[in-house]
Amino acid sequence: MSDSDLVRAARQARRRAHAPFSGFKVGAALEATGGTIVTGCNIENVSYGLTMCAERVAVFKALSEGHRRFRRIAVVADAAAPTPPCGACLQVLWEFGGDLEVILANLRRETGRHRLSELLPLPFDRRQLK
């Protein structure tokens, strides 16, 4: 799958977002090592604390479908500036994906490309539990 196909899948997932409170819709497309693409969108709740971000939806959906290793994720939002995953999503992505490539885009173009280790330089992981 090409980068543009991955971003296109994230844009399509964004259309299914449920964001009646913020109006900020986000889509994510996670590529498993076997080439399968699993998408997610943000789903808001009136309490906000129970809201789930697109990236975590994609990760949890992929895990529930049996995928365990991932290559990269594309994240799309309707914003001119790059919109990276939030802290909770960075932690979950690190936990289950390691140093993934993160492609950021908006509705028209790519806005950034990073390794997860750039966005989360000092991750908390199993190394701290020893």
Instruction: Return d(Cα 69, Cα 31) in angstroms, integer.
Output: 9
- What range does the domain containing 67 cover? 3-129
Work out how many domains the chain is built from and give that number.
Answer: 1
**DSSP H or E run through 75:** strand 70-77
From residue 1, alpha-carbon distances to 12, 54, 65, 105, 123 in Å are: 15, 20, 19, 17, 29
User: For residues 112 and 78, is the Cβ–Cβ distance under 8 A?
Assistant: no
Residues identified as active-site: 55
Residue 4 has a CB neighbour count (10 Å cut-off) of: 12
State the pLDDT at residue 19. Answer: 98
User: For residues 74 and 28, is the Cβ–Cβ distance under 8 A?
Assistant: yes
State the pLDDT at residue 4. Answer: 92
Single pTM value for the model: 0.95
Q: What is the CATH number of the domain that holds 26?
A: 3.40.140.10
Mean pLDDT, contiguous 10-residue spans, the chain (130 residues)? 93 98 97 97 94 98 98 98 97 96 98 97 85
